[in-house]
Amino acid sequence: MRRALLIVAKAPEPGRTKTRLVPPLTPDQAAELSKAFLLDTLHLARQLAWERISVVAPAGSATALAPLLPPEVILLEQRGIGLGDALRHAFASHFAESFSRVVLIGSDSPTLPAAFIRQACAALERFDLSVGPSVDGGYYLIGMRQPHLGVFEDISWSTASVFAETLQRAHALSLNVSTLPTWYDVDDAEHLARLRNELRSSPADLAPHTRAALQTLSLVAPAASASV
């Protein structure tokens, strides 16, 4: 079984990434935090030891993103108009390469448990889709075992109804769906505060790049000491 993990990301450029975190952060700080999120997501992806890791990014991102990517990671520039087209193309291209499990996550959840991704992949033995809802009404993960690309059609992207509309599309296509535990994207000050609180009580090896970036900004305390 060949598995591919896709990571949706943007180049960490001031004024163009994590703009909803400005304020409380400056554009430069938001870009540094976005970079840390991506590095931690890549670290998570490599721990899974799947056969492919691909970063899906807007066209023109290669110059800024390539230096951040390990050599085995593929950079796939988005094609089409809008996010739905980009996701359709990304999934279709990987299934065309004979991957039997394709799972996509964002780069906005640096503390996402690896167990959720493994659970999503395992569920595809019995389900057509795996979807992980995020607290804002979207989803942080979607996976499939065949190119059911219709689930990306007629979706109100970047709204609080993305997850619900995706389930409706799956139902209309007679697809059965495995739902993962809810998680959160760090896109605004509220969820930045949640991230800070999580890291304060977590081991130091959880999201180390994000932790370092927040400590530089004096936004998070050192990690809790591991018990012995």
Please count the structural domains in the chain. 1
Predicted confidence (pLDDT) per residue in 26-48, tens digit: 999 999 999 999 999 999 999 99
Q: What is the CATH number of the domain that holds 141?
A: 3.90.550.10
Is 68 among the domain residues?
yes
Beta strand ranges found along the chain (DSSP E): 3-8, 52-57, 74-77, 101-106, 129-133, 139-144, 177-179
What is the C-alpha to C-alpha distance for residues 8 and 76, in angstroms, rounded to an integer?
10
Half-sphere exposure of 41 (CA within 13 A, CB side): 30
Provide the mean pLDDT of the chain.
Answer: 95
pLDDT band at 227 (very low <50, low <70, confident <90, very high): very low
CB atoms within 10 A of CB 116: 18
Is 226 among the domain residues?
no
- Burial of 18-42, coded b for 16+ CB within 10 Å and e otherwise, reads beebbeebebebbbbbbbbbbbbbb
Predicted confidence (pLDDT) per residue in 134-182, tens digit: 999 999 999 999 999 999 999 999 999 999 999 999 999 999 999 999 9
pLDDT band at 222 (very low <50, low <70, confident <90, very high): low
pLDDT at 57 over 90: yes
Is 127 among the domain residues?
yes
Q: What is the mean pLDDT of residues 114-124?
A: 99
The reported pLDDT for the residue numbered 223 is 58
Look at residues 74, 16, 18, 14 and name the one whose alpha carbon lies nearest to residue 45.
74
pLDDT at 218 over 90: no
**Domain, as residue range, for 28:** 3-216
Is 228 among the domain residues?
no
The reported pLDDT for the residue numbered 224 is 54
Look at residues 211, 143, 209 and name the one whose alpha carbon lies nearest to residue 179.
143
For 92, phi then psi, to 5°, come to -60, -40
What is the C-alpha to C-alpha distance for residues 56 and 103, in angstroms, rounded to an integer?
12
CB atoms within 10 A of CB 44: 22
| Whether 8 contacts 56, CB under 8 Å | yes
pLDDT at 225 over 90: no
Is 227 among the domain residues?
no
The reported pLDDT for the residue numbered 214 is 95
Q: What is the mean pLDDT of residues 199-221?
A: 90
Look at residues 74, 26, 36, 2 and name the one whose alpha carbon lies nearest to residue 186.
36
Is 221 among the domain residues?
no
CA 144 to the chain's CA centroid:
15
The reported pLDDT for the residue numbered 138 is 98
CB atoms within 10 A of CB 61: 19
DSSP character at residue 134: B
The reported pLDDT for the residue numbered 228 is 35
Is 223 among the domain residues?
no
Look at residues 134, 132, 135, 112 and name the one whose alpha carbon lies nearest to residue 123.
132
> Token pair 């990306």 is at which residue?
152
DSSP character at residue 149: G
Is 79 among the domain residues?
yes
